[in-house]
A and B are shown apart, each in its own frame.
Chain A
């Protein structure tokens, strides 16, 4: 207790200096929390994390796979259902009015997304029965003033129609909602057989297969079996948890994980130097004081403990402040992405825990050299001049 109290009083003697240190430490942790939190938001690569897998081209997700892979994958033991998916992207009228549209195998896709796509039975049957049918989410339908039965045109950004243009005519078969707000899927779903009949290029090619397994524990074996089956073929596959999809998209452009490691590393290196130097300065300035303490009977370990405690206080307070701030930032960002109200649980527990671990390590590291110096101060320093 005495150690902590002395450390605290020492810090408060140079209030401005302490506040500046605290500020720079919290900046480093804001960067750490926000960037790694975002990285987590993109989905984890944990294969056994759920029963949904995606099988896409090994090169990247915009490269296409032959549609006949579907039958091969379906035969792998442990696969419950498989649905082919092709992106046509898309907007309605203005380029800014996006209606992201996927062309899918209707029956298995609806079965896999029971929570995200809830349809009245009649509309569902209509979607399963007609080739140019499309289903849209309630919000998109409302924004475009669409109702069931309307004929609409979705303009693709990547897939030309056999007519020569990029306009894809559809008939709205259903308007879906989500069972719970967090399962909401925005956009439209058409049928892959329509795509195969009407696409000018890329017929019988798909962007990915959405597969559901019977048991997440078997996922690892299934992933290996599927990817081995197409090894050395013209289109090799990569099978990943569906949760890793957002990352797969982003990784095509830049290795996000590597970038944030470099940036956060640079930030910590900067702050380590600033705080380490400041603590060292504090020790240099208090040589005589520490000498007096030693003369009064404090052991060299007690003196060292005070220095360590000072930098730990700065590191832990700074970390808490920074992590709290980053959790607020993340809440705002994820609210911006999903369009829901911000929640305060946005900072993943893993990121929080390792953040505090880093803070403890960081505090000890900054104190290392100053502590060594402080511990070697002899009682005789009490009587030295300056």
Chain B
């Protein structure tokens, strides 16, 4: 295919001249890189936050909270309601000792850095442990259940409080607790929680009889329709039952959606600026190659090759820019963790997560800038009159 060969030749000649035009090329590359890095920063935060919350939920667990509640700590179930829920569970074949009744409070805590933060304080019974299979101490052992005035801290909560070793004492929710152990949970929101014994937490908030949630095991990965109907049709109850991972996913959706809704318009506006830069670079490149292009045309190369050569140069710059931007984002965000408020006023820490999907989207976005920024200058290059080009003095 001689046509293809000649086109490739023009593309190769053009690209090999790129280093000579490096200052303008660099400005275009950096412009695209910064846009990509900013976009990825927001997407990585949204994704990291979502993962932290959804990772804390399981598809083998159902959680029952007050109807219309989006986060556990906003729920309130009276002692009577808990009994009725357990009766319905027993009818569905789940004995009461396999249900975990949990109290959830948000406690403020003095942070290690001197600021004031918030931590989820969860009052649990031994029944809570089987519902969280992936909690481990740092040496891989099953974490102990808190007894008396013990607290079992998630590692993110421990970091926030400046606790380094088991045996330290901390103050949370107006009480002093002894740190019994610290647990890891694969970077999920569970690591931001502090677990204490349910009766100790009840004693810390005298007079408040309500609990926040009840958990049940799920056999088939779905809430049994009969149980759901029994709970929602019971006139004495005002509750909802959801699979735990879905419940947490819904909780993260609001903030993650807000972040994404902010990220894309911002990236588009910044992308317009980068597009102007790319156009400028490519027009300059065409101007600098006036004689080169005219010479190639004069010795028999077609206008298609000239178009493609300039177009390819724009795409190469855009892709290099995107690669640089991804590298920058990975360097700045890799392994970095942040924390933000989730639904109910408690801080949840998360790790910025650069996903292949987000990186792919960023590359496509950069490519679009390259296509738009390359087409017009490439057209101009292809249409340039040969004789005038040969006579120009490379302005």
Contact = CB atoms under 8 A, between A and B. Distances in A.
Interface of A: 16-17, 20-21, 23-24, 27-28, 30-31, 57-60, 62-63, 95, 155, 157-158, 160, 164-166, 200-201, 234-236, 252-254, 262-263, 266-267, 269-271, 273-274, 276-278, 280-281, 285, 386
Interface of B: 23-24, 26-28, 30-31, 34-35, 37-38, 41, 66-70, 74-78, 81, 106, 108-109, 116-118, 174, 208, 210, 237-238, 255, 259, 266, 269-270, 272-274, 276-277, 279-280, 283-284, 340-341, 344-345, 393-395
A60 B210 contact: no
A164 B75 CA distance: 10
Contacts, number: 146
A166 B24 contact: no
B345 A62 contact: yes
12 contacts: A16-B283, A21-B276, A23-B276, A28-B273, A157-B74, A166-B238, A267-B273, A270-B30, A270-B35, A273-B27, A273-B277, A277-B26
Nearest to B328: A266
A234 B76 contact: no
Contact of B272 (A21, A27, A63, A234): A27
A19 to B, nearest CB: 9
Contact of B27 (A165, A263, A266, A277): A277
Contacts of A17: 280, 283-284
B108 A270 contact: no
Contact of B24 (A21, A95, A164, A277): A277
A105 B78 CA distance: 28
A104 to B, nearest CB: 20
Nearest to A23: B276
Nearest to A200: B76
B270 to A, nearest CB: 6
A164 B34 contact: no
A382 B283 CA distance: 26
Contacts of A263: 38, 266, 270
Contact of B116 (A166, A236, A253): A236
A60 B341 contact: yes
Contacts of A160: 66, 74-76, 210
Contacts of B68: 95, 155, 157, 166
Given A157-B74, A234-B174, A281-B284, A274 B108 contact: no
A164 B78 contact: yes
Contacts of B74: 157-158, 160
B108 A166 contact: no
Given A16-B283, A236-B116, A267-B270, A60 B345 contact: yes
Contact of A63 (B69, B108, B279, B394): B108
Contacts of A63: 106, 108, 118, 345
Contacts of A58: 108, 116
